[in-house]
């Protein structure tokens, strides 16, 4: 089975969660494979009827802590695989952060793989924190320049609402306020310039008369 997923899940502390694409085949190798993220721009959320976007830079994972990424259900509880044990392989390719997870080692992990193949976990997401970011106001895009740490990869039970990611929402709300403040500042400057021009025009007309 293959799923293409683009929504996100509510954060925990400063962690953020993005749903991801994955493939889990019914073969006996018990692997789950996919991209935790791509480097393409995607819609992050809608605020007051306006779409806002996000894009992860190709160099964002350079220096990121991916030394002990774990595989667990709904980002909590029992660990079924982990990178430090050699059962999760992570690499950066031209598409994004790619992972291959081996769920063959224990009875519990094999049972989880069967649940994933059966469709009991129709989505998967990964948890991470951001080191550096900036906002492109022209395209309304949050650009993630540096990922600080990748925590886990998880099959999740229910679809997530993109607007419940508190960190991303607060970040965008801050950028929206900055943009509004800048708009008001420019309007005030234009108003003052207009008043000065009008006053100068009156003085010139007075001299001519």
pLDDT of residue 13: 63
| Low-confidence residues in the chain, pLDDT < 50 | 1-11, 164
At 65 the pLDDT is 97
86 burial level (CB within 10 Å; 0-12, 13-18, 19+):
exposed
Check residue 36 and give its pLDDT.
Answer: 81
How much is the pLDDT for 2?
37
Give, in order, the Cα–Cα distances in Å from 164 to each of 16, 18, 64, 108.
10, 12, 25, 31
Of all residues in the chain, what percent carry a pLDDT higher than 90?
Answer: 46
Q: What pLDDT shows up at residue 131?
A: 95
Strands 141-156 and 70-71: parallel
- At residue 43, the pLDDT reads 87
Q: What pLDDT score does 188 carry? A: 84
């Amino acid at each position: 089975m293959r799923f293409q997923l683009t929504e996100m899940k509510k954060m925990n502390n400063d962690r953020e969660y993005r749903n991801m694409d994955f493939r889990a085949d019914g073969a006996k190798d018990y692997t789950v494979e996919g991209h935790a993220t791509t480097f393409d721009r995607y819609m992050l959320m809608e605020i007051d009827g306006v779409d806002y976007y996000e894009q992860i830079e190709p160099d964002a994972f350079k220096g990121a802590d991916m030394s002990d990424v774990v595989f667990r259900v709904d980002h909590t509880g029992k660990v079924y695989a982990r990178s430090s044990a050699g059962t999760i392989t992570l690499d950066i390719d031209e598409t994004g952060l790619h992972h291959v997870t081996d769920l063959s080692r224990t009875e519990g992990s094999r049972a989880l793989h069967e649940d994933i193949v059966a469709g009991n976990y129709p989505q998967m997401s990964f948890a991470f924190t951001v080191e550096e970011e900036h906002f492109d106001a022209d395209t309304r895009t949050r650009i993630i320049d540096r990922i600080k740490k990748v925590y886990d990869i998880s099959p999740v039970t229910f679809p997530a609402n993109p607007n419940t990611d508190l960190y991303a929402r607060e970040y965008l709300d801050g950028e929206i306020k900055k943009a509004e403040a800048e708009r008001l500042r420019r309007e005030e400057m234009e108003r003052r310039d207009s008043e000065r021009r009008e006053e100068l025009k009156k003085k010139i007309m007075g001299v001519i008369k």
